[in-house]
A and B are shown apart, each in its own frame.
Chain A
Amino acid sequence: EVQLLESGGGLVQPGGSLRLSCAASGFTLRSYAMNWVRQAPGKGLEWVSAINGRGDKTYYADSVKGRFTISRDNSKNTLYLQMNSLRAEDTAVYFCAKEKESSGFFDSWGQGTLVTVSS
């Protein structure tokens, strides 16, 4: 059974940094592109970032480009999101999501981790 477990969320001040992790199990992580998707309180889903299976191609939404970095350690079955220069508008639940066969849509999601940016 595919399982994705996010961690690392919490309260951080504006301008601060946070690193999210997503531990994967039940499948071979290196075979799949992975993504981060977020949902701000009371809002809809927003795609944040993607990384291919080898980790040598990354993609970002304009809203986080230059501030967030996606990475992966396939040997540890873990996906990461390094978030720097955080803003109030980054407050959201962050989900990691597995792509189905590098298609661009997501067939498995984690439960999410809440990031709150506030002073």
Chain B
Amino acid sequence: EIVLTQSPGTLSLSPGERATLSCRASQSVSGNHLAWYQKKPGQAPRLLMYGASRRATGFPDRFSGSGSGTDFTLTISRLEPEDFAVYYCQQYGSTPLTFGGGTKVEIK
């Protein structure tokens, strides 16, 4: 099973600042099959990124993904108020599918 470790656990930032979220895998993620989701309290998760760097429909280009192998990064270039949420990475390169523990991006 691939274990995904997200860091930091919490990121306290102000609107307009840059957010850098890390997702590290315990072994190489096949085909860079790494997705990111945004989750707000009481809401369904939303697909944000897949294939490590392909942005899903509905998310602006201030969101970007990068990385390969075992190290992946989600970057939000300038935080907007609606971006404050919890972000999860998920690998789908091998079964069982696994999620990281999440990074909470909170307003400083």
Interface pair A62/B96, CB less than 8 Å apart: yes
Minimal Cβ-Cβ distance residue in B for A46: B99
B50 is an interface residue with CB less than 8 A from chain A: yes
Interface pair B102/A104, CB less than 8 Å apart: no
Stretch at the interface among A11-19, A70-78, A81-89, A107-115: A107-115
Interface bracket on A: 20 to 34
Known: A44-B88, A105-B50, A105-B92. A95 touches B45 (CB 8 A): yes
The listed residue (A45, A59, A61, A100) touching B37 by CB distance below 8 A is A45
Interface pair A105/B96, CB less than 8 Å apart: no
Annotate A19-30 by CB proximity to B: 1 below 8 A, 0 otherwise.
000000000000
Chain A residues within 8 Å of B, Cβ to Cβ = 35, 37, 44-47, 50, 59, 61-62, 95, 97, 100, 103-112
Further 12 A-B residue pairs, CB within 8 A, beyond A44-B100, A47-B90: A37-B45, A44-B101, A47-B96, A47-B99, A95-B45, A97-B45, A100-B47, A103-B33, A105-B50, A105-B90, A106-B35, A107-B47
